[in-house]
Amino acid sequence: MLTLRDPFIENTLKDLRAANQWCGPQALYRFQQDLALTGKFQVRDAATGALCSAQAHFYAPPHGCLYWFDAEEPFGVIADSLRLGCPVLALVTAHNVYPVASSEGSPLIERARLLLKEKSRPERYIDPKARPLVCLGHPNFAHFAWNEFPGLWYLAGSGAAFDVQVLYDPLQLVEPFCTARNLNCSHIDDVESVQGWQERPIVIPGSVYCTADVKHDILALMGLPIEYHPTSEPRIYLSIRETGRTLKNQATILACLANRLLDDMPNATLVLDGFSLPLDFDRPVYDRLRPTFETRIAGAKSIIASLVEALPAARRAHLKDITGVSLKEALWEIACCHAYVTHAGTMQHKAGWFYPLPGILHGNQASITPASLRWTASMMEGAIAPEGVDPALVEDQTVQGMPRDNTRNRDYSFRDADLMVDSMVKSLLRMFNPSEQKASSDRLS
């Protein structure tokens, strides 16, 4: 008769799925709140069925945490994947790896497997009486606002007593937030110094949605306008992306778009943006990223210089280049805009998440499907899904400047640039006419 190697596995997986239930609106998983409230992560052992607690926590930013259960047959639970809110991703026993939230991989899975294979033990165990430590801080502002800060926001209202440790704080939210909530906060300037087995219980708060209340606090803490009040004169935000998932012949096409827009709106201002700096960019924690950021800024400015050169001299005064300013300064400019034309990714999020701007998203075929366009606005309450360019006019190219070779990372070109520009201008003019915009929306619904 075949005996299961993990005879109580269904009970353990049931516990872990329950641990992944939300405490707020798609924010703060149950196990994250329990850890902050009690310092404990408890599940039933897959080998014996007995309830047991994680005795060691391995923190590995940006990959999450490995929770180690030193049971009769030790096992590990992996909380990882920032884009999913850092849920329980997998259970690792001596016999198998069991996906919990998804089948996504994590380097912490292999670490747990190696520990079990070598019958090793953690170098350090947590003090069960220690105050929990909430760890966050991704350098990408979109992940910070979408996946991290809402989790912290809800955790602060849970009644838990904890301290906060932050690596990157690109919107400079954590310190003022913690001050207002009477939470102790420390900034860490060396990622390696905090990686490893910990003495304090580790909580990584997560989220996949930012509500209007959380967004209100983001804007207030940053000192940005809460309400959306664009300028009286037309103002359009155009993104510049120097490499990776980008448009071929970008300067020429955007110069053509600028000329056509100024033909129809001679008093318009076109705000050009290639890359914005995090608000805490002066901290040493950015030393390893500094050369990359500076290269991105220089690359975007080179494209903008070519764009400017392609315009008549009289029209160059209608361009405003904000590449290289801080995220706060960029969002001030965006709050005054009426619409946008952007690449897929964080350039669109900057324009479309914080204020309800309508806009056009151009990208490779994978980025402009109806589902992708809806998803783009689904992370922030109040965001408007962008219109996509005509996919029949988009031709995917090879992947360049991106770490993974997949369809979402492909560069792209327009089969007929003039026809594409005409279509963009028509869409933007419709966005400036509220009655026509509503009629178009009614026809689509």
> What is the domain range of residue 261?
224-444
Number of compact structural domains in the chain: 2
Predicted pLDDT at 48: 94
Task: Name the domain boundary from 220, 244, 259.
Answer: 220
* Mean pLDDT for the stretch of residues 280-296: 96
Predicted pLDDT at 402: 80
Predicted pLDDT at 185: 97
For residue 272, give the nearest of 306, 233, 244 by alpha carbon. 306
Task: Name the domain boundary from 220, 243, 278.
Answer: 220
Residues 42 and 178 in one domain: yes
Q: Is residue 190 part of a domain?
A: yes
Domain at 330, CATH number? 3.40.50.2000
Residues 141 and 27 in one domain: yes
Residues 157 and 233 in one domain: no
Residues 143 and 34 in one domain: yes
Q: Is residue 374 part of a domain?
A: yes
Whole-number Å distance between alpha carbons of 167 and 189:
6
Whole-number Å distance between alpha carbons of 135 and 145:
15
Instruction: State pLDDT tens for residues 100-152.
Output: 999 899 999 999 999 999 999 999 999 989 999 999 999 999 999 999 999 99
Predicted pLDDT at 4: 60
Q: Is residue 252 part of a domain?
A: yes
Q: Is residue 3 part of a domain?
A: no
Peptide bond connecting 291 to the previous residue in cis, omega within 30 degrees of 0: no
Task: Name the domain boundary from 170, 191, 220.
Answer: 220
Residues 238 and 138 in one domain: no
Residues 214 and 258 in one domain: no
Q: Is residue 273 part of a domain?
A: yes
Nearest 5°: phi and psi at 164? -120, 135
Residues 56 and 204 in one domain: yes
Whole-number Å distance between alpha carbons of 345 and 426:
23
Residues 267 and 303 in one domain: yes
Q: Is residue 255 part of a domain?
A: yes
Residues 190 and 280 in one domain: no
Instruction: State pLDDT tens for residues 373-395.
Output: 999 999 999 999 999 999 999 99
Going edge to edge, which strands form the sheet with 185-187?
Answer: 185-187, 163-166, 133-136, 202-203
Q: Is residue 168 part of a domain?
A: yes
Whole-number Å distance between alpha carbons of 284 and 273:
25
